[in-house]
Structure 1
Amino acid sequence: MTPEPDSLTRHGWKTPSADMASAVGGTPLIRLSRASDATGCDIFGKAEFMNPGGSVKDRAALAIIADAETRGELESGGTIVEGTAGNTGIGITLVANARGYKSVIVMPETQSQEKIDFLRMIGADLRLVPAKPYRDQGNYVHVSRRLSEENGWLWANQFDNIANREGHRLTTAPEIWQQMEGRIDAFTCACGTGGTLAGTGFGLADAAKAAGVTRPKIVLADPEGSGLYGWVKSNDLSISGSSVTEGIGQSRVTANLEGAIIDDAERIGDPEALEQIYSLLIHEGLSVGGSSGINVAAAIRLARTLGPGHRIATILCDGGTRYQSKLFNPEFLRAKNLPVPFWLDE
């Protein structure tokens, strides 16, 4: 596999980017003041919502498409199909637009209206399907695979295509390592495909080995309703509870997660995640979505376990505007018995 050039060679904010793809990555690493002050640690959030498509999934989309191009699986005018909770579909559609491809995106109809509208706006051929578990052949992943087989389209297969995690190993991890000057004790991240957690974990381990220092601790942040917390803790993928978060949580071990470095896991409930989302917004001016709240909450828990003086990084996956109709909608929150931010509580 010939990877996309290392993101450290793309200066992002400092110099002009040659095209859209060259602007993916190089995102800021922001110290989260309230989380840091509350724990006596330095907790940093990688601002992935500042990618061109607005999320960390731009990296996976670019890595998957670049890998397919290298393998000769994509030609000008070709079509890419993918099953997604939304953000990967947005990233794929934008990269496809920039490189002369068409995109067909299959998504559960339960995802936020903001993501549905945005995908249609940017030109995706959007196919909404009923939300079904992975074991059901009507699941959006299986529908996208069948569309690929029936039409001869490229299936991005983000869950089991390890070009996904390789993109994070080659870009996200080196960026974090450089931005933290190699002084990082731990990394927390939620999983959908597993690409961000696994790839960044591998890359941080690579960097630590090259520097001759102890690698950071890698900790899964998992919502209720996902089996991965139990998988890490006791090799049990059983599921209990549910979450309003989108795009994270899993009932199986994907190819991207196979062999991943995961030292521990934290299970985070929706109220705890929402507390962090609202705190980041009203106190620090950072508008983020549900998975970011899960990630930051896990980082705070981990910081309290490690004790003062440690340095922890996590991912701010996407922006809050993609969830306005849910996470910032008082009616939706009250119907779920979830806290309403005071500035919206009328």
Structure 2
Amino acid sequence: MWLNNILETIGNTPLIRLNKITKDIPATVLAKVDYFNPGNSIKDRMALKMVEVAEQQGKLKPGGTIIEGTSGNTGMGLALAACVKGYKCIFVTTDKQSKEKADILKAVGAEVIVCPTNVLPEDPRSYYSVAKRLGQEIPNSMYMNQYDNLANRQAHYESTGPEIWEQTEGRITHLVSTAGTGGTITGTAMYLKEKNPNIKVWAIDVYGSLLTKYYNTGEIDMNEVHPYISEGFGEDFVPENYDMSVIDHFEQVTDKDGAVMARRIAKEEGMFCGYSAGSCLQGLMQLKNTLTADDVVVCIFHDHGSRYVGKIYNDQWMMERGFLDVKTFRDIVNGRAGKKLVTITPDHTVAEAVELMKQYDIEQIPVMKENELVGSVSEGGLFQKIFSNPEIKNSTVASVIEHPYPVVDFMTKVEKLGNLINKENGAVLAKDEKGDYHIVTKYDVIQSLAK
């Protein structure tokens, strides 16, 4: 039996048990993995519902233009609906979102406008304001406004909530989800609490968002708002989709913890998820001591890791922000207090090479000619040659030269360096930003890993 179009594949996503990361939690922890939707995110559900409701209300007419402020996932869902139903799309996003998200939206035919992140929502440059203005200026268009459009939470009341209830056979005790527009957590919670009012709903927020303080105090405190790196959740205002009465607790996580956890989910559970999934599970881990063996916890994994390959799944990006404690060739060099590389030329004698090894207490020396790496000499290699022929110490290094050391990138991880250093290669070299060579030996690697 075939499907009539791609929109019919939305929903009915799997519920998958987590096993390794949550092994110390007594409860059963399940992930609602919504990257199985055709647009690779849970936003497909509400995007289609918003379009359907707009059509029913006569606000979206044939040949019209869909306009939305989106970090990417809602845009993808709307774009899929537009492809099938024949609408145009203009999406407005922020400059903190990953480039991959914008590129994907363009690939499905949308126009993408990028706005600054660090401005207030009411600022005419904000992506909220720009999207709203375009909706007023462009004929036969509709600004979907996922934040205040209650079709957002309706989608989850009608699909996500019932699916989770059925998949857990009504055994769910806790729902955990990041909090952004409010649609997913509110709509899902509304349905589940109708089924069982005792189900606990935990909203996961990010530091820099005002939602947590608003939940706790009812106060919109703009002093809580500051730039954050996490994508897809957290807000600097309170969308109308929220019904705080169905939420039992707000928990904040850091940008770093959410990013690191997302990478753990990929490596340890085999689920290539986005930033919000990492933050969702990190929030749960911060609350794990309140769980019992009788609890069944469902975490919402909103989207796919392909949206973040240039960010949280990029080692360089993670290291630049201090999110990844990865030791590299550069770290080893920086930890040696500026010691310069000791080299020798092919014209020097073997005796001079031995003297350098004694003087600097080293076992490996690169052989350089006109600032080019041409080979190496090692204590082990020289020992064997001098032992068999003591007179060789008066010969030139060229007569005993060994093959050059491998040259790697300056940011190569220590673990990879360990694989390159062996009996044949006693060290590795790399050039720094200035073009100067540096050396790392097996002892350097051992010391770095022991710290």
TM-score (norm 1): 0.89
Larger mean Cα displacement after TM superposition, 158-167 or 17-26 = 17-26
Alignment of 1:335 onto 2:323: no
CA contact (8 A) 1:222 1:268 kept: yes
2:98 aligned with 1:112, yes or no? yes
Change in Cα spacing, 1:108 to 1:58, as seen in structure 2 (3 Å) is same
Partners of 2:412 and 2:67 lie apart in 1 by 41
Residues of 2 paired with 1:241 and 1:38: CA distance?
34
User: Displacement, 1:248?
Assistant: 0.8
- Determine the structure 1 residue equivalent to 2:189: 201
Matched, 1:174 2:157: no
Percentage of matched positions with identical amino acids: 33
1:216 alignment partner in structure 2: 199
The DSSP-based 3-state class of the residue aligned with 2:23 is helix
Output one character per residue of 1:203-234: Cα deviation in whole Å (capped at 9) or x when no partner. 111222xxxxx431111100111111112223
| CA 302–226 in structure 1, closer or farther in 2 if over 3 Å, else same | same
Residue identity matched to 2:157: R
How many residues in Structure 1 have an aligned counterpart in Structure 2?
327
Residue deviations 1:173-211, cap 9 Å, x none?
A: 000000000001111111221100110110111222xxx
Matched residue, 2:294: 309
Match of residue 9 from structure 2 = 23
In the alignment, structure 2 segments of 5+ residues that lack a partner are 329-410, 414-451
**C-alpha distance after superposition, 1:233-286 (max 9, x if no partner):** 233443255432112101222110145511111111123223321221111111
- Quote the Cα distance in structure 1 between the aligned partners of 2:8 and 2:131: 28
Cα displacement (A) at 1:340:
5.3
The question of 1:121 aligning with 2:107 is answered yes
Q: 1:185 aligns with which of 158, 168, 173?
A: 173
Measure the CA separation in 2 of the matches of 1:225 and 1:100: 39
Structure 2 counterpart of 1:164: 152
**What is the alpha-carbon distance in structure 1 between the residues aligned to residue 59 and residue 298 of structure 2?**
36
Matched residue type, 1:246: E
Q: 1:84 aligns with which of 70, 83, 91?
A: 70
The residue type equivalent to 1:282 in the other structure is K
Deviation at 1:52, TM superposition (A): 0.4
- The one-letter code of the counterpart of 1:164 is N
Most deviating of 173-182 and 281-290: 281-290
Q: Is the 8 A contact 1:49 1:55 kept in 2?
A: yes
Does the residue aligned with 1:26 lie in a helix, a strand or coil? coil
Q: 1:235 aligns with which of 214, 218, 223?
A: 218
Kept after mapping to 1: 8 A contact 2:157/2:191: yes
- 1:267-278 matched pairs, under 5 angstroms: 267-278=252-263
**Contact residue 299 and residue 313 of structure 1 kept, 8 A:** no
The structural deviation recorded for 1:335 is 1.8
1:262 match:
247
Q: Which moved more, 1:186-195 or 1:233-242?
A: 233-242
The amino acid that maps onto 1:300 is M
- Alpha-carbon distance between aligned partners in 2 of 1:341 and 1:121, rounded to the nearest angstrom: 34
Asked if the contact 2:100–2:310 (Cα under 8 Å) also holds between the matched residues in 1, the reply is yes
> Which shows bigger deviation, 250-259 or 86-95?
250-259
Deviation digits for residues 264-315 of structure 1, max 9, x if unmatched? 1111112322332122111111111111111111223333213333111111
Structure 1: unaligned runs, 5 residues or longer: 1-14, 209-213
Q: Distance in 2 between matches of 1:270 and 1:200?
A: 25
Larger mean Cα displacement after TM superposition, 268-277 or 115-124:
268-277
Match of 1:143 in 2: 130
Taking the aligned partners of 2:248 and 2:294, their CA distance within structure 1 comes to 20
What SS does the aligned partner of 2:242 have? coil
Map Cα deviations across residues 80-116 of structure 1 (whole Å, 9 max, x no partner): 1001111111111111111111111111122101001
Q: Structure 1's 309 and 259: CA in aligned 2 closer, same or farther, altered over 3 A?
A: closer
1:124-176 alpha-carbon deviations (Å, 9 max, x no partner): 01112222331322110111111010113111110000000000000000000
Q: Match for residue 75 of structure 1? A: 61
The aligned counterpart of 2:303 is 318
The two structures, once aligned, show a CA RMSD in angstroms of 1.9
Q: Cα gap change, 1:90/1:74 in structure 2, threshold over 3 Å: closer, same or farther? A: same
Output the TM-score relative to the length of structure 2.
0.69
Paired residue secondary structure (1:221): strand
Matches of 1:73 and 1:101, distance apart in 2: 13
- Tell me how far 1:337 sits from its aligned partner: 1.1
Deviates more, 1:293-302 or 1:79-88: 293-302
**Aligned-partner Cα distance in 1 for 2:179–2:326:** 26
